[in-house]
Each structure stands twice: as C-alpha cells, then as structure tokens.
C-alpha cells in the first residue's frame, strides 16, 4: 500500500513537471529544436530520407507556426519520395501530404486562424513530417477542437476517398450493396464504416493469409456485412440465390484478375471505380460485361477532386459530416501503429516490403518524442 502511494506520488510529480516543462516550451518556440524528415533527391525512401534538426522559424505577415501532432505515412508519400507520384515537390523538401497540428504562434496579418486552433493541411505537398512548420494561414483548415486526432489526421486522403467514391458514382440508398477488394486497406476500412453508418451493405474481399479469421473478425467489428477471400468469392453463389443483393457499385484498388472477379458480380448497369493498383496488373474488362451488363468503368484520384473543390461548399459539407461521424465514434481510424519520428525507418522497412500496406497504417506521433524526452529528463 505504501509502495503504491509512493509510486503514485512520484508519477504525479513527474507529470506535473512535464506539464510545467511544456508550458515553458509554449512561451518560447524559437528556442526549441525542430526535427524533420528531408529528401534531397528522389529514390529509395530508406536511402534518401534524412532526419535533420534546425531552429524553429518565427511566423511573419500572414504566416502561422504549427506544431504537428500526428502525421500519416501513406502509399502516396512513399511514391512521392520515389519520384513516381504525379505531384512532385520541390527538392530539398519535407514529405508528408496529411496530418493534424496545433497553431502555437501567429503572424501579425494572419486571417481566419487563431492561436490554439487545431488544423489540417489545405494544400498539396504540405510537408507534414516536420515537428514545427511555418506556413501561410490560407494553407490550413481549422477543425473542431474535440475531434479525435488519429481519426482526423487521415481525413484528407483515405477517409475522403471512401466518402467521395460512395457518393459520386451511384445514388446509393439504404439496403443497396457495395463490393470492394482491398477491404483491409485504410480506404477500405473507411468504406466499411461509412456503409454501416448509411445503411448500405458491404461485401468485402481480402487476400487469404494465415490470420484470415482474425482479419475477418476485425472488419466485421467495423461493420462489414460479408468478408470473403478471393477464392471464396469465386465459389460464392450468394448473389444468384438472393442471399445478397447484387452490388450497384464496385471499388477496386488491386487490379488484375481480382478486379475482374469483383466486376463480374455487379448488377446490371453497375459501376466499378478504380482508385489504386496494388497488384501492378492491368484492369482487364470482359467484352460481355460491357455489352450485356452495360457496366461502367471509372477512375478516381482524390487529389484531382480536391483541386477542383478545395474551397467548395460540397467539400465543406463532406468534412463536417466526417467530423461528426468521428466525434460520435462511428468512424474510427483504420488499424494503425503510432511511432515517434526517430523510428521512421521501421515504418519504411514495413511499407516498402512487397507485403506492406497490408492493413496497418503507420502514423508519426510527434507527442511520443516529447514525452520520452521530458520523462527521461525529469525522472
């Protein structure tokens, strides 16, 4: 009992000193060291990505200083570093398309953004893999202060991709069905949850693997109606027997034979939307499906949609709905792992592996580094 009280007293002292230390930090950011990941040339991320430190800049004019809290590591980020993504940043540059941060200092002419605001990027190639960033205030979007950080961190990419694909190609009604491959991807897990929230049935296809039962259970906990392996889909007769209504919409992020098998099950005049190609195999469309089913084949790139709708009421309404779903606990972050910036190589090793992008999303949590450093200093 005495030991427990002693430990509790010590921990209270530690965290009190942590808070005191953070308050002091908040008063003078120019004295802080700024860590960032930098690329000087395109290539293998494990070779060209460098961890550097410099002084924190002071915002001027309409600029603000953002302290990044959490930043995503997405396939698009890896492709950007490799130089294969359609949008190429200026070099040297800091990678990272999305994240969430807090405004800790504002320039004298900054408009629409205030000290303490929680913000996400509103521009391409934001460079979110940096602890402190000075940016123009119009490059940010303010988000609700009580929205979960890990969830909102990925709202601009995978979450918005899932939302738009479900909204823009077929007028889905409650009771309609959607079929998707790559269902365990970050976008796929968002599709499942949005379908659940809107009363749309989801049929979800994943690759077979040793822990397939565990994966199926995870996706069903998110709201999936049906989860099948590719082999199980080929043998399934649920659409013919009426057990499941034929899907009006198919979502493809794999390509190859997998995409063709998914397309084979859509309804008359169904639509397949391709937004990725993880198999690196082309999408082959049987002539019979085009003629006798009158299926439509579409493509979707979230970056293009955002360019065309960056400040539109449509985008604002989408984000507001997504914020509310996150706050209500109906839209949770995909399976993920939080890592301090210093461990970025561990994420790269996993994500550039041929078996990477298998459902676990990596997030740089800048708060971890601060906590580790302060705890080690005060204990």
| 165/170 Cα distance (integer angstroms) | 9
Assess contact for 328 and 308: CB atoms under 8 A. no
State how far Cα 247 lies from the chain centre: 26
- The answer to whether residue 163 is catalytic is no
| 70/74 Cα distance (integer angstroms) | 13
Distances (CA, A) of 337 to 10, 39, 77, 159: 29, 23, 17, 17
| 246/233 Cα distance (integer angstroms) | 13
CA angle 188, 193, 194 (to 5 degrees): 95
Assess contact for 306 and 332: CB atoms under 8 A. no
Catalytic residue among 29, 40, 85, 163: 85
SS3 321: helix
Q: How many CA atoms lie within 13 A of 142 on its CB side?
A: 12
Strand partners, 100: 70
State how far Cα 320 lies from the chain centre: 17
Please, which residues have CB within 8 angstroms of residue 54's CB and are 6 or more apart in sequence? Answer: 33, 34, 36
Ordered DSSP codes for 258-295? HHHHHHTTSPTT-EEEE---TT-B-----HHHHHHS--
CA angle 311, 315, 320 (to 5 degrees): 115
State how far Cα 61 lies from the chain centre: 31
| 377/14 Cα distance (integer angstroms) | 10
Active site residues: 85
């Amino acid at each position: 009992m005495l030991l427990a009280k002693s430990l509790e007293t010590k921990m209270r002292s530690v965290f009190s000193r942590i808070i005191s230390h953070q308050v002091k930090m908040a008063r003078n950011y120019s004295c802080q060291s700024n860590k960032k990941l930098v690329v000087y040339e395109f290539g293998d991320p494990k070779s060209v990505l460098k961890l550097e430190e410099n002084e924190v800049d002071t915002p001027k004019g309409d600029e603000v200083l953002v302290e990044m809290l959490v930043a995503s590591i997405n396939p698009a980020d890896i492709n950007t570093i490799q130089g294969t993504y359609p949008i190429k940043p200026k070099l040297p540059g800091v990678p990272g398309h999305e994240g969430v941060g807090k405004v800790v200092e504002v320039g004298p002419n900054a408009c629409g953004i205030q000290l303490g605001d929680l913000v996400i990027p509103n521009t391409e190639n934001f460079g979110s893999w940096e602890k402190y960033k000075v940016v123009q205030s119009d490059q940010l979007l303010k988000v609700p202060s009580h929205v979960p950080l890990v969830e909102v961190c990925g709202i601009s990419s995978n979450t918005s991709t899932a939302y738009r694909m479900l909204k823009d190609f077929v007028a889905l009604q409650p009771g309609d069905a959607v079929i998707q491959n790559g269902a365990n991807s970050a976008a796929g897990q968002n599709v499942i949850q949005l379908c659940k929230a809107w009363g749309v049935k989801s049929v979800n296809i994943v690759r077979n693997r040793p822990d397939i039962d565990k994966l199926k259970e995870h996706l069903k906990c998110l709201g999936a109606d049906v989860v099948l392996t590719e082999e199980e889909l080929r043998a399934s007769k649920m659409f013919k027997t009426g057990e499941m209504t034929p899907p009006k919409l198919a979502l493809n992020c794999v390509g190859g034979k997998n995409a063709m098998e998914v397309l084979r099950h859509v309804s008359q005049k169904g639509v397949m939307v391709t937004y990725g190609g993880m198999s690196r195999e082309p999408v082959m469309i049987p002539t019979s499906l085009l003629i006798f089913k009158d299926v439509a084949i579409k493509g979707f790139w979230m970056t293009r949609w955002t360019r065309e709708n960056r400040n539109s009421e449509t985008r604002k309404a989408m984000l507001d709905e997504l914020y509310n779903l996150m706050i209500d606990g109906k839209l949770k972050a995909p399976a993920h792992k939080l890592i301090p910036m210093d461990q970025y190589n561990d994420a790269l090793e996993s994500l550039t592996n041929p078996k990477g992008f298998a459902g676990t999303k990596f997030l740089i949590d800048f708060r971890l580094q601060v906590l580790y450093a302060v705890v080690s200093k005060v204990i």
